[in-house]
A = this chain, B = another copy of it.
Amino acid sequence: MPAGRKRGFDDQAALQTAMEFFWRQGYEGTSIADLTTALGINPPSLYAAFGSKRDLFEKALGRYMCQRTAQMEEAISKPGVDEAITALLLGRVEVFTDPDLPAGCMTVQSGLSLAKPHADIVEMLAQAREGMRLMVLERLARAVAEGELLPGTSCEALTRFIMTTLYGLSVEAAAGAPKDELIAAANLAIEVVRGMLFQPQGHHVYAQV
């Protein structure tokens, strides 16, 4: 057991609070003072525990991605690709509109456009989104390999479409769009995937992209 005075606050709870602040108010819109007053601690305690504001954001984003990618992996690993994408999109709508959390996706909400000195934050978020994209891309590639999707299907295009839908849903959810409309929009996106399913006895709804 390490010597020294024990920390007077819970790091994980503090990280959760920081995550939610960055998520709700963005990187630049969240000040250290916001966090310290919300946590009831003083700046030195925060800095000792997490380092700079940039470091804290990185850890908060890490916490977010850890939770979210787990949820997404679970949804996306369902057997049928249509079932997987359905679970993914509807699951995200559910999370984006969860009243106990900031609306939308943190990777979209917290730092799309920042001042030049914070370009690394923008890049950090872009890489987080890229990681999610690769998850979906791999899942679709597997579906093509397993013959679930039409042989000539462009996984890149379909993945980009799905990510586009997810990011758009984030923007809408954060602005307070009605949940039933978001679900309906997500279902329309799901129909696109269904339309590209390989149906030996039926006809194909879409020509390949």
Does B108 lie within 8 Å of A171, measured CB to CB?
Answer: yes
A26 to B, closest residue via Cβ: B113
- Decide if A45 is an interface residue (CB 8 Å cutoff): no
Does B184 lie within 8 Å of A157, measured CB to CB?
Answer: yes
Query: Given the known A-B contacts A26-B113, A29-B113, are A184 and B171 also in contact in the complex, defined by CB atoms under 8 Å?
Result: no
Query: Given the known A-B contacts A154-B184, A160-B184, A206-B191, are A108 and B112 also in contact in the complex, defined by CB atoms under 8 Å?
Result: yes
Q: Which of B115, B166, B188, B192 contacts A157 (CB 8 A)?
A: B188
Does B187 lie within 8 Å of A209, measured CB to CB?
Answer: yes
Q: Which of B113, B126, B174, B189 contacts A24 (CB 8 A)?
A: B113
> Chain B contacts of A39 at CB under 8 A?
none
- Decide if A42 is an interface residue (CB 8 Å cutoff): no
- Decide if A86 is an interface residue (CB 8 Å cutoff): no
Binding site for B on A (CB under 8 A): 23-26, 28-31, 34, 102, 104, 108-110, 112-116, 118, 126, 129, 154, 156-158, 160-161, 163-172, 174-177, 181-182, 184-185, 187-189, 191-192, 195, 205-206, 209
Query: Given the known A-B contacts A165-B168, A167-B171, A167-B172, are A25 and B185 also in contact in the complex, defined by CB atoms under 8 Å?
Result: no
> Chain B contacts of A104 at CB under 8 A?
112
Does A195 lie within 8 Å of B184, measured CB to CB?
Answer: no
> Chain B contacts of A29 at CB under 8 A?
28, 113-116, 118
Copies of this protein in the complex: 2
Other than A29-B116, A31-B115, A168-B169, give 17 A-B pairs with Cβ distance below 8 A. A23-B113, A25-B115, A28-B114, A102-B113, A108-B171, A112-B112, A126-B176, A157-B184, A157-B187, A157-B188, A164-B171, A164-B185, A164-B189, A188-B192, A188-B206, A191-B192, A191-B206
Q: Which of B23, B118, B185 contacts A161 (CB 8 A)?
A: B185
Docked pose: A87 CA to B176 CA in angstroms = 28
Q: Which of B112, B160, B187, B205 contacts A26 (CB 8 A)?
A: B112
Docked pose: A165 CA to B89 CA in angstroms = 13
Q: Which of B31, B113, B169, B182 contacts A174 (CB 8 A)?
A: B113
